[in-house]
Structure 1
């Protein structure tokens, strides 16, 4: 029972002291968290900068730490216990977001759909940030490719060309 009371207290404290998630022009946010996807998991870091009341641009980078080895036949080649190289594990993207906190009327929550142009594909994302204090919050994001640059001739092309899920901490930089 003590755990339940403590959890309710912390949740209500976080909700009553929550801060504005997106302030518009001049706003700056930094996210860092876990990247989870099929065939591997890793870290994601992103930064977003406000350009207007509901518009921002930013950058996102991911690096896959734990990646499944591949053994078998792919295309015309046979592979045995092959691990991906650095360029197969890393991805960097420029992105634009439509920040909807003022549209939905909840200042502490920023829902942001957007588009990204990266090293491996052109894609989209849907994310959300919730700020507990002026400087700290949490984020979650779902990313997906729309058009990829390769024609799947390499074993690990799928690593940066699939749906990804990210979750982590968000920090206010302004």
Structure 2
């Protein structure tokens, strides 16, 4: 019961002392978290720079730590036991733009941001949200998806950076 009361107190303190999630031009946010997807999981880091009241640009990078090795035949080629992905199969970097909607939806503490990204493996989109408990710390979640893939899917691991992803973690206001 004590744990429940403590958790309830911390949650209510966080929501009553929440801070503005996106302040517009000059705003800078950094997200660090887990990247979850089919065939692997890893880390994601991003930075967004405010350009206007509801617009930002930034960069996002992911690196897959836990990737399933491949055994079998793909595209008519037989791969040796436990064929492992290389660095370029695990890594992705993208430039992105966001439409920051906190002032539009009327909730200052919550920044909902749909956007587009152009990366090493595809052109895609994303929808995310950030909630700030204090002036400098919050949480984020994001779903990313490819719109147009580069290449012809000839490699065993081409799917790793060309699928829907789910990310969550901590957000910092700089």
User: Which TM-score band (shorter chain)?
Assistant: over 0.9
| 1:76 shift after superposition | 1.6
- Residue of structure 2 equivalent to 1:129: 130
Instruction: Measure how far apart 1:155 and its partner are.
Output: 0.4
Q: Distance in 1 between matches of 2:136 and 2:71?
A: 46
Q: How far does residue 164 in structure 1 lie from its aligned partner after superposition?
A: 0.4
Counterpart for residue 46 of structure 1? 46
Matches of residues 10-25 of structure 1 in structure 2 within 5 Å?
10-25=10-25
Match of 1:55 in 2: 55
Give the Å deviation of 1:144. Answer: 0.2
Gaps in structure 1 of 5+ consecutive residues: none
* Equivalent residue, structure 2, for 1:75: 75
Shift of 1:120: 0.1
**3-state DSSP class of the match of 2:3?**
helix
* 1:33 Cα offset (Å): 0.4
Q: Structure 1 length as normaliser, TM-score?
A: 0.98
* Alignment correspondent of 2:33: 33
CA RMSD of aligned residues (A): 0.5
TM-score with structure 2 length normalisation?
0.98
Give a deviation string over 1:37-89, Cα, whole Å, max 9, x none. 00000000000000000000000000001100000110020112101000000
Deviation (angstroms), 1:2: 1.2
- Structure 2: any 5+ residue segments left out of the alignment? none
Deviant stretches of 4+, over 3 Å: none
Aligned length in residues: 173
